[in-house]
Amino acid sequence: MVLADLGRRINSAFAQLSRSPVIDDKALDALLKEVASALLESDVNVKLVATLRQKVKAKVKAQIEAGADKGKDINRKSIIQRAIFDELVQLVDPGVEPYKPKKGHSNVIMAVGLQGNGKTTTCTKLAVHYQRRGLKSCIVCADTFRAGAFDQTRQSATKAKIPYFGSYTETDPVAIAAQGVTKFKKERFEVIIVDTSGRHKQEAELFQEMIQIGEKVNPDMTVLVLDASIGQAAEAQAKAFKESADFGAIIVTKMDGHAKGGGAISAVAATKTPIIFLGTGEHLHDLDRFSPEPFISKMLGMGDIQGFMDHMQNVAMANPEKQKEMQKKLGEGKLSIRDWREQIQNVMNMGPLSKIASMIPGLPQGMLEGTDEEGGARMKRMMIITDSMTAAELDSDGSPFIIFDEKNNKVVDVNKRRLKRIAKGSGSSVREVEEMLCQYRMMSNMAKSVGGKNGWMQNLQKMQQAMGRGRGAGGMPTPAQIAQMQRSLPPGMLQQMRQSGGNMQEMMKAMMGGASDEEMGEMNRMMQQMAGGMGGLGGMGQMFQNMMGGMGRGR
């Protein structure tokens, strides 16, 4: 991933700072030297790097002189880290708000850039992005210079079900752009994306053509599509395009490769223009919204919760009716094998596991490297096993696979005949089918505990309503609010929490229907890492103890 190496280098420099016995000017200089070296190796402009060093030193010095460190080295470390983080954010944040398409209005967006930077693919991705957000989108192909440009637009737009306009006979790109924009405006399209020919700053004729197209269609926003891999050349090219087309936003492509990517940062600083999207792959949905602070946070391994939530929302928006139906079922505490299968499909649609993991605070960078294929293969295997089930089995709660003794009210055995049939049909072993059913059972038990009339979801909502906002220190609830929470909980739930001794792991284990200690240990470690990355969760255990009346003390 682009800039992943930069993030690792800066994190390594922070680790060295943490090991320093004394935080003085010498330690700060050593840290800044390492950070500057990492930025230069990533193709960030040398002037920008020099300015960053000066600003960090000035900011740290001012805060220490003002007594913000309270004479402690640990506070100085936090001040230094925060100063570097803020200045890195400033590198990719010009402080300019990009144009946002308005619903009910024809918004014309013109894409410009060098040849081979991925403009045509990006135009389709952009149209898909706005279409999924309820804006009627279309594409006009005004690229008559490159052979096959209109064919590429036609194929990708047809695949994405996006209306398009172009011509095999007309050779004047200005005329095509004007005709296409006029046509789609009459048809009341809300986002009209004009794809232009790729051009270089030395190609004066093509630059003149771009200016003429701009004057004819009068775009609301011109977007520069910039390849992350072109390095130091990005700054000069961006300046030339800014002077001619005065673009208002940048989309950086090929961010899924191993290019250094610092040139994109230099282009932002040189033109004072914001990045709005990052192209992260060849698929139509591989276009991520860019936000400066979460981007730097993710790069440094500190996660991007907002990006994670946006990603989840995008998956949900792909089929909103199914999502509503699923929420209703979970609210009732019901989860069939078919529902569980759909959730696995949703996880697979979210993209590589390492990409999702990089958004979660506390998970070390590279932790899931190399496991994308393994994880994807495991999920596909489970999908293949469910393909061999009948409709009745898929819509069940797993009961057809067990033999139940109604007289003694207990499970006596598994239905081996069914398991063998499914194993044979899916080309897997009986053991693999049993493991898949075990995974489903854990999720089903959690759904039952969370949903339903007296489920955790409903009870926690009641508890939150009863408590309101925490009025104590750091936003924590006061003793009076805790008492109010206790009264709002059903006696059974409070008793269950007390029996667990306030141990969140035990409560989660109960919810998951008796998961193994190894599985729970892994979940607990992940939750602790996440809590450590997010901050502000340290008092949660104490709050639960207070809420349950300090029930662990007499044990």
Higher pLDDT, 484 or 237: 237
Bridging pattern class, strands 275-279 and 221-227: unpaired
Give dist(CA 462, CA 21) in Å, integer. Answer: 50
Q: CB–CB of 258/265 below 8 Å?
A: no
Q: Lowest-confidence range among 378-392, 466-480, 488-502?
A: 488-502
Q: Mean of the per-residue pLDDT values for the chain?
A: 75
Given a cut of 80, is residue 389 above it in pLDDT?
yes
pLDDT at residue number 125: 94
Which stretches does DSSP call E strand in 40-185? Answer: 107-113, 137-142, 164-165
pLDDT at residue number 180: 94
Q: CB–CB of 260/42 below 8 Å?
A: yes
- For range 94-108, the mean pLDDT: 90
Q: CB–CB of 238/117 below 8 Å?
A: no
Higher pLDDT, 407 or 553: 407
Q: If we measure between CA atoms, which residue out of 257, 284, 289, 259 comes closest to residue 274?
A: 289
pLDDT at residue number 81: 85
Q: If we measure between CA atoms, which residue out of 243, 248, 280, 246 comes closest to residue 261?
A: 280
pLDDT at residue number 485: 59
Q: Lowest-confidence range among 103-117, 150-164, 486-500?
A: 486-500
The single-letter DSSP state of residue 399 is G
- For range 358-384, the mean pLDDT: 64
Give dist(CA 182, CA 179) in Å, integer. Answer: 5
Q: CB–CB of 89/292 below 8 Å?
A: yes
Q: CB–CB of 45/266 below 8 Å?
A: yes
Bridging pattern class, strands 287-289 and 402-405: unpaired
Higher pLDDT, 4 or 20: 20
Tokens matching residue 86: 């803020």
Given a cut of 90, is residue 157 above it in pLDDT?
yes
Please name every residue paired with 221 in a beta bridge, in sequence order, or none if there are none.
109
Q: If we measure between CA atoms, which residue out of 16, 8, 551, 527 comes closest to residue 302?
A: 8
Higher pLDDT, 515 or 233: 233
- For range 345-352, the mean pLDDT: 68
Q: What is the CA radius of gyration of the chain?
A: 28
Give dist(CA 136, CA 452) in Å, integer. Answer: 39
Higher pLDDT, 354 or 28: 28
pLDDT at residue number 528: 42
Bridging pattern class, strands 164-165 and 221-227: unpaired
Q: CB–CB of 124/132 below 8 Å?
A: no
Q: CB–CB of 279/122 below 8 Å?
A: yes
Given a cut of 60, is residue 508 above it in pLDDT?
no
pLDDT at residue number 531: 36
Amino acid letter for position 438? C
Host H or E run for residue 231: none
- For range 189-206, the mean pLDDT: 82
Residue 165: phi and psi, rounded to 5, are -140, 140
Given a cut of 90, is residue 398 above it in pLDDT?
no
Please name every residue paired with 141 in a beta bridge, in sequence order, or none if there are none.
195
Q: 134 Cβ partners below 8 Å, 6+ apart?
A: 103
